[in-house]
Amino acid sequence: MKTPVPAPPVKVAGDTNVGKVRTTNEDSMIVDVQRGLFVVLDGMGGANAGDVASQMARDVIAEFVMHRRSTMPPRALLDGAIQAATQAVFNAAQAQRERHGMGTTCVACMVLDATHVLVGHVGDSRAYLLRGGRLQTLTRDHTIVEELVDRGLLSPDEADRHQYKNVLSRNIGARPETRVDMVELELKAGDRLLLCSDGLYGYASAEAMQYLLGSGDAPDQVARDLIELALRGGGGDNVTAIVLEASQPAPSGTQLVRTNGAVAWWQRRQRFLHVAKERGLPKNAMVRGLDANEALELVALNLCQAIFHDLEKSTGVNVWTFAQTLAGGWFERGGDWSALRGMMDILGEATRVVVDEIRTLDAQLGFLLDIAVSRALVVAELALGGLLAERLRQVDTELIQLHTAAQETIDVESLDETGDRFIDRPTIPFLRAERVITAVGVPDEVAGAIEKTLTIARARTSPRAELVKQVLTSLEAIATDGGSNFATAVLAARDLYGVRTVDDAGIMPLFDALDQARILTAAAVHQIQVPEPIRAKALRAISTAHQRLVGAATGLVLEAAAPYTDRLREAQQVTSDLRDRVAAAEKRRAELERRFATNVDVSQPWGSRGNTEW
């Protein structure tokens, strides 16, 4: 016979929240680390004094375990505590008319020893186990519909759609006694247990709960995150979560980086600064006017600290912020790209020197740290690429404004059929293939410059980036189109779009390829050997072609998304109507809970317990 241990060998934390809809919190919980007792109780929603029922049951269970834990075996102890709570709540409900029908659910966990726990429950509060990264339910909801499924009177699909699927068949307080389901579980290293009310799993997906439980964060952080997840999902009920964590297994590579790797990196920050100074960081144009120590602290130490924090959290947000702040401020002051590129190269060399020194002392840790720090530098480069793309968009805008101003000088014969001058704007009517543009062909020398630019851009494209190559080919066709008609851009956009799903997986690769092509051409145009006026005309032609192509592709996306937009409006209307029906359904559910939970006699066969035809 196992008896509860004084100090359970688990880490545990719990939290509760009233939610976004209800005004009172009918949930209660017990987090008694000394006695190894953890309980979640959910007062019957909509019933009289549901908060009183859950708090009364909480106090009775805690007192029962405290006084009898040394004299009773675990199963009898936990069952007796819940039965005592049932009797107390039932008696209180009978004593006061205004509390008649109050009740509560209960899911309780008692830690037996280092590797065993006992879980008991009544109602639809649940216990989950996370093992090996997968989440499984340990309890079965005590609802009328669930019992009908068990007896073959309803299919699981029918149960999911049943209007009374949340009506309880068993709870604490409806009768003087209840039946408690129990399961004893052997814990393994790394296991996590979750006890929660239906306010969590009713408003959060199992996948999201699994992700948070497996995140590696401490139980207190996970409990808060789970509640925040339910609130973001609507928060339509009180929500309570208790997270228990068994002893940890041998650390994984990620854990080694987050602990040993982060510490080893930060301990060598002075070495990082020394290498950056040797490589010439204080002489870089970006820190002109600062002395060497100020420059190292402002740039190198900030990056070192950002990498440290990202190693601790297995994230990239700090390095991303550092790179954007560094480059954004430099560009705002009119700084050039070469100085920024030189600065990042110096910092990259310093990181490699430090990681190589760590590798000589601990080969395994050095290998893992090398991967993590390299990933951080890639994040920094991505942040810089985003800022460069923004600068290119600004250049595009300026070129379009210059082009528009130039068009104001055209004569009346060059106006289109509507009498409007050409103004480049991304509207659907503007994308009509038959709309005539006022240009009259591309000079040979400009066409040659465009061809050279696109040839260089293709040479710099990854062999596997087929979509980017297709975009570059389309840009050349549009930019050198002698008729300057939008038909070329529209047809090219249709070829690029092909057949796609209207979601991120389908649409984002297309626009990523368009952005990548823009970056490649902007860099390649500066490599061609032509006079500056020709270079400027080629850049303007390619930029205009790119905008036409993006505009045409956007038009196709909007056209494809139109049916989904209409359906969204309809769904919003239906949602509004459903909100009005929720209050009535809640009241009906409370009435059914009081009636069925009181009338069901667990000692009788199912056919004698009531009418199943609803």
Q: What is the pLDDT of residue 310?
A: 85
Question: Is 193 found in the same domain as 49?
Answer: yes
Question: Is 84 found in the same domain as 196?
Answer: yes
Q: What is the pLDDT of residue 145?
A: 81
Question: Is 291 found in the same domain as 163?
Answer: no
Q: Is the pLDDT of residue 427 over 50?
A: no
Higher pLDDT, 611 or 548: 548
Mean pLDDT of the chain: 81
Name which of 37-51, 172-186, 232-246, 381-395 the model is least confident about.
381-395
Question: Is 167 found in the same domain as 56?
Answer: yes
CA dihedral 350, 356, 357, 358 (to 10 degrees): 110
Instruction: Flag whether 581 is in a domain.
Output: no
Task: Band the pLDDT of 185: cuts 50, 70, 90.
Answer: very high
Instruction: Pick from 158-172, 234-248, 566-580 the range whose average pLDDT is largest.
Output: 234-248
- Of the three residues 568, 588, 608, the one that is the final residue of a domain is 568
Q: What is the pLDDT of residue 540?
A: 84
Q: Is the pLDDT of residue 8 over 70?
A: no
Q: What is the pLDDT of residue 424?
A: 41
Using DSSP's 3-state secondary structure scheme, residue 4 falls into coil
**What φ, ψ does residue 570 adopt, rounded to 5°?**
-65, -40
CB 116 within 8 A of CB 60: no
Residue 495: how many CB atoms within 10 A of its CB?
Answer: 11
Q: What is the pLDDT of residue 273?
A: 94
Mean pLDDT confidence for 20-42:
92
For residue 521 the two structure tokens come to 């051409």
Q: What is the pLDDT of residue 515?
A: 85
Task: Band the pLDDT of 566: cuts 50, 70, 90.
Answer: low
Using DSSP's 3-state secondary structure scheme, residue 173 falls into coil
Instruction: Flag whether 191 is in a domain.
Output: yes
Question: Is 269 found in the same domain as 368?
Answer: yes
Name which of 122-131, 194-203, 212-221, 353-362 the model is least confident about.
212-221
CB 502 within 8 A of CB 561: yes
Distance of CA 112 to the CA centre of its chain: 36
Name which of 74-88, 108-122, 261-275, 512-526 the model is least confident about.
512-526
Q: What is the pLDDT of residue 386?
A: 75
Q: What is the pLDDT of residue 440?
A: 46
Task: Band the pLDDT of 139: cuts 50, 70, 90.
Answer: very high
The CATH number linked to 485 is 1.10.490
Mean pLDDT confidence for 415-440:
41
Name which of 107-121, 504-518, 584-598 the model is least confident about.
584-598
For the chain, how many structural domains are there in total? Answer: 3
pLDDT in tens, 78-132: 999 999 999 999 999 888 877 887 899 999 999 998 889 999 999 999 999 998 7
Task: Write down the pTM of the prediction.
Answer: 0.47
- Of the three residues 217, 245, 273, the one that is the final residue of a domain is 245
For residue 31 the two structure tokens come to 């987090």
Residue 318 belongs to domain spanning: 253-391
Question: Is 284 found in the same domain as 169?
Answer: no
Question: Is 304 found in the same domain as 284?
Answer: yes
- Of the three residues 245, 272, 287, the one that is the final residue of a domain is 245
Q: Is the pLDDT of residue 65 over 70?
A: yes
Dihedral angle sign, alpha carbons of residues 162, 168, 169, 174: negative
Contacts 24+ apart (CB under 8 A), 124-127: 124/42, 124/166, 124/168, 124/198, 125/40, 125/41, 125/42, 125/195, 125/196, 125/197, 125/198, 126/194, 126/195, 126/196, 126/198, 126/201, 127/193, 127/194, 127/195
